[in-house]
Structure 1
């Protein structure tokens, strides 16, 4: 038998993160701040004849574009949250944006590495005062952006967010003895994380640049500037890899929580029942879906099996199929 919604033939599939609206506003604010900085540097460079200002402004445009993708992903997911064309809602739109942002971050890192290698073999004169001013200004903007994107409530716990179906959404507290699941990586809003990584990466590079410029000016170590650029490339590539790996795992429906999967199996395999097929995947920040096939000598309604899982946190959509054991008397 197949499961049916308790209120009729259909039910909503809205699996947005608990802080979706707040994260959308925060990301949009960072986009505005970054674009303002970008425009100011380009105009300032044109007015004062500084190619360094113009170049940094153009560099800021790459971050503005990536952050703009994150902001648009929030808008799109919210706008189409109840669109029936999305089988399991739009909760994974942010993960798609995070994957694209990870790729953009890798490209930026490789570009920094390329420029650094060029300067090793063809050193350019460094205008220390102007360069330090730019790095300090960029660092200030990145610190403000990082504060706006700080991860305060990112690790949602999969509670019901406007959808009131007991058989699909867990409402119980998280203090059950057998449900000690780690919510940090699986429930994280990767779209917010990707925006945060962009500004932190830029801030890290700014800090390294300031240190390199101060040392180069003090001791004449001109080679330190491109060397720090290569270090920055390696650091940013490692962050990019982590983001791509996390977002890719969600997009490919990899099991987000092995402990939760085993808890589901142990709860369903009672009274001689056997779970012949079990799938667990993430459908949005703080939301997981489960699909199970149970083989039983004494089949019971699917609703009874789902009731065994009702208090599991973060389990937002459950489908149960019950089959009669072919060898049962």
Structure 2
């Protein structure tokens, strides 16, 4: 079985140092918001602190996943730790949704039983959260575009910044109008947004972990592209999966019309590799050549 790699698809390196800075910033924010939330009686501030605490855990997971993903492969870990960052993205997305559910529960209870809030503390601490999270978002913005793990960390921080803006708005509403109900209402809105962004990332990371074919790839189009090459007779037993952010794999059996030479097969394999890389972004191709073999010729075969 011939196995070719196309190495032009790799993204620029991701910077773990920026992630470490955001971890330290979020630890400081969390401590300040917990103290401020307890002193002021603001549920929105405490919910923001809980979200920040989940961010700290998520960022630490992302940081270590980023570090170990670069460890070398070995005989008992032939892919190395390349999927560590995908697992981290999955865990972080799930934690966003769990935190959101907790926040909604607490907010509903507070709506039913409103409590007084010290608005000045809420305002100053929300401004601190906006500044620190805004800086963290700026640090990770480039890496978030090309790495799912970094995107999960970025989403945690971005939603934190939005949450701090909402808390500031609530603090101002309480300070000027004594609208105490604004605090839990904003908490619910923040939580619903967490569910929205968390679900999208959870769905994407789950697809990768389950070895589903990437949404951008149509298997029938790949089949047609390979079938157009002479002397290919049939393409079957196809598997396409995404290993991580950089690698998309194609595995297939190809039945030939004639008993070709190995040198001919190598030339055809290079053509297939070039075609699927240029058209579909697949950079790892693993082809099993066959001639007159009695096996299932279905495109997709359940192993």
TM over 0.5: yes
Aligned to 2:2: 3
Kept after mapping to 2: 8 A contact 1:142/1:200: yes
**Relative to structure 2, which stretch is displaced further, 201-210 or 304-313?**
304-313
Kept after mapping to 2: 8 A contact 1:99/1:247: yes
Kept after mapping to 2: 8 A contact 1:30/1:145: yes
Compute the displacement of 1:40 (Å): 5.5
Aligned to 2:243: 283
Matches within 5 A, 1:163-174: none
Aligned to 1:185: none
| Unaligned 5+ runs, structure 1 | 6-10, 156-188
Aligned length: 281
Compute the displacement of 1:262 (Å): 4.4
The superposition leaves residues 74-124 of structure 1 with CA deviations (integer Å, 9 ceiling, x where unpaired) of 111112x32333343432211110000011111111121122111111111
| Unaligned 5+ runs, structure 2 | 295-303
> Structure 1 residue 24 and structure 2 residue 16: aligned?
yes
Aligned to 1:62: 54
Aligned equivalents of 1:65, 1:143: Cα separation in 2: 19
The superposition leaves residues 160-218 of structure 1 with CA deviations (integer Å, 9 ceiling, x where unpaired) of xxxxxxxxxxxxxxxxxxxxxxxxxxxxx210110011001111111112122222333
Aligned equivalents of 1:150, 1:298: Cα separation in 2: 53
Structure 2 length-normalised TM: 0.82
**Relative to structure 2, which stretch is displaced further, 279-288 or 68-77?**
279-288
Aligned to 1:320: 287
Aligned equivalents of 1:28, 1:17: Cα separation in 2: 23
Cα separation, partners in 2 of 1:129 and 1:240, compared to 1, 3 Å? same
Supply the RMSD in Å over aligned alpha carbons: 3.0
The superposition leaves residues 279-300 of structure 1 with CA deviations (integer Å, 9 ceiling, x where unpaired) of 2111121321110111112144
Aligned equivalents of 2:82, 2:68: Cα separation in 1: 10
Bigger relative contact order (CA 8 A; separation at least 6): 1
> Structure 1 residue 253 and structure 2 residue 216: aligned?
no
Secondary structure of 2:98's counterpart equals helix
Secondary structure of 2:100's counterpart equals helix
Aligned equivalents of 2:166, 2:8: Cα separation in 1: 40
**Which of 182, 185, 199 does residue 227 from structure 1 map onto?**
185
Aligned to 1:308: 271
Aligned equivalents of 2:99, 2:86: Cα separation in 1: 20
Aligned equivalents of 1:91, 1:28: Cα separation in 2: 20
Structure 1 length-normalised TM: 0.76
Aligned to 2:173: 215
**Relative to structure 2, which stretch is displaced further, 55-64 or 230-239?**
55-64
Cα separation, partners in 2 of 1:141 and 1:267, compared to 1, 3 Å? same
Kept after mapping to 2: 8 A contact 1:208/1:228: yes
Kept after mapping to 2: 8 A contact 1:288/1:317: yes
Cα separation, partners in 2 of 1:93 and 1:123, compared to 1, 3 Å? same
Compute the displacement of 1:19 (Å): 3.5
